[in-house]
């Protein structure tokens, strides 16, 4: 009897041979199930949801004070005192500067002396007139008594009329000289320049000791502006100007304003363009000349500036709000197709909810407020529906897995 060699390998059972391959198949099958490729949809969709829509016109504007005055000099002369600097706050009636008044003061004194002389001459003429009246009365009595000649009576009457005319002449000269004196006094007053309004000195164009010549034009001394209220001068293109109306809400922000927004209301739309932009259409056969820039119209609106954050000449990024709605159904405007002859009615494609066959439904919808990207859905769609916006892009070879 032969005993088995303990060093020879033991033979495995037949079932154990297939256990490892079977386990591998199960594991790979599970991995394929969990990592199977996601079914690609042929459509790009967006879910109809509630949101806000604002239809607006964007433009660029410049800030200017609502009230400002260029203060000038009405007389020539040297500036002897300058009492303010740029940035100073001034009150209405405050003294700002003084111009040398020596020549004008002398002219006023001469006028006053001339009036005094004329008044003295007028008093003398009145005395002569009174004497002439007495002589004329005496001659009349003597004529009645047949004690004088008729010629002497006539001479006395002429002398009386001459005395009265001399009084009228002096009175007229006094009025004329007084008028000239008032003009000289006014010019003398112009040597002291006062603030016409309350505000801030925004610019100073002269220096103390400078000589001004006001013979042909009024030289500007300084500018005062009331910075508590500003006006936005906005340039709006001719393509958008019909959408901007008086009373329309508007807002703007400035560069570096940390997203701060100032609100206002359109006060005025100026009827003429802000500047000439090329040759008339008649000169080019009714067509705009080549290279002509777009016409810009000026729109004005005012805003309060209580903290002085707004300054003259700042650039404003302006938005005019033509319509705005909140909490309404919204969808991309590109997803709708306008129907001819039916204003406000559009056609849209809807992807059926949880449809395994990717069924597409075509509907008619009504749109309300809209801007360049979004539209308000007023009828035809419900919140949560999937609106088709276009076809999905072709597969690029990148696999998307669903977990």
Mean pLDDT of 22-42: 60
Give yes or no for residue 397 having a pLDDT over 50: no
How many angstroms separate the Cα of 348 from the Cα of each of 361, 382, 389? Answer: 8, 13, 9
Q: Provide the phi-psi class of 209: left if phi over 0, else alpha when psi is between -120 and 50, else beta.
A: left
Topology of 43-56+324-391 in CATH?
Answer: 2.40.420
The Cβ of residue 191 has, within 10 Å, a number of other Cβ atoms equal to 21
Q: β-strand 89-90 against 43-47: which pairing, if any?
A: unpaired
d(CA 243, CA 250): 12
pTM of the model: 0.67
Sheet holding 211-212, edge to edge: 192-194, 95-99, 77-82, 211-212
How many angstroms separate the Cα of 279 from the Cα of each of 236, 274, 291, 293? Answer: 20, 15, 11, 11
Sign of CA dihedral 190, 196, 200, 204: negative
Q: At 163, is the secondary structure helix, strand, or coil?
A: helix
Q: Find how far residue 191's CA is from the centre of its chain.
A: 36
Topology of 226-276+292-323 in CATH?
Answer: Elongation Factor Tu (Ef-tu); domain 3 (2.40.30)
Whether the domain at 43-56+324-391 and the domain at 226-276+292-323 fall into the same CATH topology: no
Give residue for tokens 């001394």: 221
Confidence at 387, pLDDT banded by 50, 70, 90:
confident
The Cβ of residue 201 has, within 10 Å, a number of other Cβ atoms equal to 19
Q: Report whether 250 contacts 319 (CB < 8 A).
A: yes
d(CA 212, CA 77): 5
Mind listing the pLDDT tens digit for each residue in 179-230?
Answer: 999 999 999 999 999 999 999 999 999 999 999 998 888 899 999 999 999 9
d(CA 237, CA 294): 7
Question: What integer best gives the mean pLDDT of the chain?
Answer: 83
Give yes or no for residue 364 having a pLDDT over 60: yes
Q: 335 exposed, middle or buried (CB, 10 Å; 0-12, 13-18, 19+)?
A: buried
Mind listing the pLDDT tens digit for each residue in 137-162?
Answer: 988 888 888 887 888 888 989 999 99
User: Tell me, what's the pLDDT at 110?
Assistant: 95
Which two tokens mark 321?
Answer: 């709000």
Give yes or no for residue 385 having a pLDDT over 90: no
User: Tell me, what's the pLDDT at 398?
Assistant: 43
The domain locations on the chain are 43-56+324-391, 101-190, 226-276+292-323
Mind listing the pLDDT tens digit for each residue in 64-74?
Answer: 999 999 999 99
User: Tell me, what's the pLDDT at 18?
Assistant: 61
Strand partners, 331: 375
Closest CA to 391 of 45, 44, 40: 44
Q: β-strand 296-304 against 220-237: which pairing, if any?
A: antiparallel
């Amino acid at each position: 009897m032969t005993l088995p060699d303990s060093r020879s390998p033991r033979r495995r059972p037949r079932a154990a041979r297939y256990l490892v391959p079977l386990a591998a198949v199960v594991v790979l099958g599970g991995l394929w199930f969990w990592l199977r490729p996601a079914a690609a949809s042929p459509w790009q969709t967006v879910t109809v949801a509630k949101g806000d829509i604002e239809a607006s016109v964007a433009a660029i504007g410049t800030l200017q004070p609502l009230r400002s005055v260029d203060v000038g000099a009405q007389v020539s002369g040297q500036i002897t005192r300058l009492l303010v600097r740029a940035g100073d706050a001034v009150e209405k009636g405050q003294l700002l500067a003084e111009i040398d008044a020596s020549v004008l003061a002398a002219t006023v004194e001469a006028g006053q002396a001339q009036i005094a002389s004329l008044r003295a001459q007028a008093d003398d003429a009145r005395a002569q007139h009174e004497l002439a009246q007495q002589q004329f009365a005496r001659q009349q009595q003597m004529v009645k008594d047949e004690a004088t000649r008729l010629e002497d009576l006539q001479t006395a009457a002429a002398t009386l009329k001459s005395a009265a005319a001399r009084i009228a002449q002096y009175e007229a000269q006094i009025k004329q000289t007084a008028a000239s004196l008032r003009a000289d006094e006014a010019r003398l007053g112009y040597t002291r320049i006062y603030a016409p309004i309350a505000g801030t000195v925004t610019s100073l164009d002269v220096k103390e000791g400078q000589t001004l010549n006001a013979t042909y034009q009024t030289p500007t001394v300084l500018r005062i502006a009331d910075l508590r209220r500003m006006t936005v001068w906005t340039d709006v293109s001719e393509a958008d100007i019909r959408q901007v109306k008086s009373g329309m809400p508007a807002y703007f922000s400035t560069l570096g304003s940390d997203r701060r927004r100032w609100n206002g209301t359109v006060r005025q739309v100026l009827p003429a363009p802000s500047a000439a932009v090329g040759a008339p259409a008649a000169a080019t056969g009714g067509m705009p000349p080549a290279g002509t820039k777009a016409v810009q119209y000026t729109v004005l609106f005012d805003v309060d500036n209580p903290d002085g954050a707004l300054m003259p000449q700042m650039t404003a990024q302006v938005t005019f709000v033509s319509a705005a709605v909140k909490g309404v159904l919204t969808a991309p405007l590109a997803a709708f197709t306008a129907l001819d002859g039916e204003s406000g009615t559009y056609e849209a494609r809807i992807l059926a909810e949880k449809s395994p066959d990717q069924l597409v439904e075509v509907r008619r919808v009504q749109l309300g407020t809209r801007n360049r990207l979004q539209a308000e859905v007023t009828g035809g769609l419900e919140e949560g529906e999937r609106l088709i916006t276009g076809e999905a892009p072709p597969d690029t070879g990148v696999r998307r897995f669903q977990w």
